[in-house]
Amino acid sequence: MNAECLRHAGKRRHAFTLLEVILSMGILALLASSVYAIVGSSIGASRIAMDQQLGLRRLDSFLRVTRDAFLNLPPQGTVSLQIARARGGDPEPQLVLGNVQGLFGLPSLGGGSLVLAARPRPDGTRTIALLTIPANASDREVEQALSAPGIPLIPKIRTPRWSFFQDGAWKEEFPSGSPRPALVRLQGEIDGLPDPIEAIFYLPPVTTPATPSPTPPPGS
């Protein structure tokens, strides 16, 4: 009898009670939730870093091609700023480069115009899109070109502002027919990037070709 009782007692000592099982499951659940939180935060931080790198690369490409466009603006090229109305009625700043030949990687424009339009987005930001207007376009063709979606260059930019340096001061307004400025500045903020942007583009001055002096006739 005593041996049988001792055998049953040994079996009870080696088994887990219901309370111990519940405690073990609770500890495992806490460990799993901690690991999930750490992994989730790591994935979120990696996604934010990747989005920032993508935004920086896209911004760098835009600034590079825009800088090249201003540097290669032909002597007859013009620069102006017009404020149009978007579909929702919001003002839409449009930087117009007129009488251009081949800029922004486009093969040939034949003296047409390039427009950098700040298109409103549903989230309150804007997208700078590239539009093309052919040379000698009619009013209807110009309207169709300006209403086209265009090529998106920079998305999610807030309050983009163009300004122009002329006669020793920065000007916010630069209507069509204004003389070519010395510098063009773009300011704004891009979602996902910590710092605001301020890019200044240099425009080469227009030089008037020298008129050759007349050759005196022989014997003079």
Dihedral sign (CA 160, 164, 168, 173): negative
Q: Where are the domains of the chain?
A: 52-202
29-42 per-position pLDDT tens digit: 877 777 777 776 66
Print burial letters for 36-57: b (CB count within 10 Å at least 16), e (below 16).
Answer: eeeeeeeeeeeeeeeeeeebee
pLDDT of 187 above 90: yes
How does pLDDT run across 26-75, given as a tens digit for each residue? 888 877 777 777 776 667 666 766 766 777 888 899 999 999 999 988 88
pTM over 0.75: no
Quick check: 89 and 106 in contact, CB under 8 A? Answer: no
Specify the DSSP class assigned to residue 90. -
